[in-house]
A and B are shown apart, each in its own frame.
Chain A
């Protein structure tokens, strides 16, 4: 029986070993932060610049089309953006196309202490869940009250001071869409293009490649790439948070992926040459 080389053995490593190493590696930076530097991309800079243009009383919609499972990716950016919106004294309307979206809203409020100084229904509101994908987004642009008659607590929309005079996309100064899917496309097609409402995307990293061309073309004024984008926003507003901590963990895991890819390719090349 021929003796196995190290390359042969490397190619036969049980995937569970790699998963265990990965899971342990991900945990280490949370216990002992590495404080690796985070460079800031132009998409994040224009994002914050766009938010800073808002004036007191401007109405901003935050569309939550990401679930609780995407919190590590989207929540830090939502928190950072909410902080800037409150600094700009903007009125914030949240709504969601995810059934667990109200949990994200409540988490944002919990993580942004400034919300405690504001009045619900006057300075910010969560209108709740809507369904119907692109036709619903189009209808929201046309007539918000045809989709939402109450907020998520059941208060009639006309009893909410923040909603006074806010009926359609024409009354909204900006939309921030947080996505794990393609809702940002719906907002581009139904809000940005027909009504000219400035739009930015808080997406999972997977969405970044899809929305980067829209940022390049000026359709979106900002795009974030998941937790990485969140860390960039946190750095830009000078408030390090969850994403900054998470980035150490993600960087460590990427190191493992890079090492695994190199080893696997070296092993493949070595065994192929021998054959």
Chain B
């Protein structure tokens, strides 16, 4: 893709750049009218798109089948409407029924596939040693994950006070958890930087300093 040549395309990228700079004016300068305009514009546009998509999806998945004679589709439509009663003080209780059905079905569905990947497979992967001929890193990971798992789980032994024989293992467990959370945070920073680098690249592309 090269630099846009149509009026629509050029207008589009320059509008996008202006809005982006309005948003970045907050961290790079201070809160101002342009930032607020971009913020409200973004929220309004996002909500409008979400509303239209929601209506279209409801028509496609519920209204159309209902009109085609599938009478039982009236049930999800009614449940959907019942949810909006959350906005009415007197009839708020009605909305609890569709929410209960939604939460219940989601939990039920989620439970059926949770045990194997999140518990059994994790235990098997933790206690399975590396294959013969594996390098030192694989063995280090195996030992670290094995011991780290035990120590981290011990930290959550809340029915016993963390003293005596439990003092050092639980303290080490806390360190293991902190290292894990640190890795998580590091990856989060990596993600934010990548997003920002994408915007930096876009700025240069619009200015014609790097190819599109």
Q: B50: nearest residue on chain A (CB-CB)?
A: A99
Q: Which of A193-213 contact B (CB under 8 A)?
A: 193-194, 204-210, 213
Q: Are A19 and B27 in contact (CB under 8 A)?
A: yes
Of B1, B189, B196, the residue contacting A110 (CB under 8 A) is B1
- Complex Cα–Cα for A26 and B121 (A): 40
**Is there a chain A Cβ closer than 8 Å to B71's Cβ?**
no
Q: Are B116 and A23 in contact (CB under 8 A)?
A: no
Of A100, A189, A206, A246, the residue contacting B197 (CB under 8 A) is A246
Of A100, A206, A219, the residue contacting B187 (CB under 8 A) is A206
Size bin of chain A's contact surface: 35 or more
Question: Which residues in A have their C-beta under 8 angstroms from that of B117?
Answer: 188-189, 192-193, 214, 217, 219
Q: Are A217 and B125 in contact (CB under 8 A)?
A: yes
Contact with B along A76-103 (1 / 0, CB 8 A): 0000000000000000000000011000
Stretch at the interface among B4-12, B86-94, B105-113, B163-171: B105-113
Q: Are B190 and A225 in contact (CB under 8 A)?
A: yes
In the complex, how many residue pairs between chain A and chain B have their CB atoms under 8 Å apart?
A: 144
Q: Which of B165-212 contact A (CB under 8 A)?
A: 180, 183-184, 187-191, 193-198, 200-201, 203-204, 209-210
- Complex Cα–Cα for A30 and B207 (A): 13
Q: Are A71 and B187 in contact (CB under 8 A)?
A: no
Question: Which residues in A have their C-beta under 8 angstroms from that of B210?
Answer: 30-31
Q: Are B191 and A205 in contact (CB under 8 A)?
A: yes
Known: A19-B28, A27-B203. A250 touches B194 (CB 8 A): yes
- Complex Cα–Cα for A254 and B197 (A): 11
CB B159 to nearest CB in A, in angstroms, measures: 26
Please give the residue numbers on chain A whose beta carbons come within 8 Å of chain B beta carbons, in ascending order.
15-16, 19-20, 22-23, 26-27, 30-31, 69-73, 99-100, 110-111, 129-131, 133-135, 138, 147, 149-150, 188-190, 192-194, 204-210, 213-214, 216-219, 225-228, 245-246, 249-250, 253-254, 257
Please give the residue numbers on chain B whose beta carbons come within 8 Å of chain A beta carbons, in ascending order.
1, 24, 27-29, 49-50, 53-54, 57, 60-61, 64, 105-106, 109-110, 112-114, 116-117, 121-122, 124-125, 145, 180, 183-184, 187-191, 193-198, 200-201, 203-204, 209-210
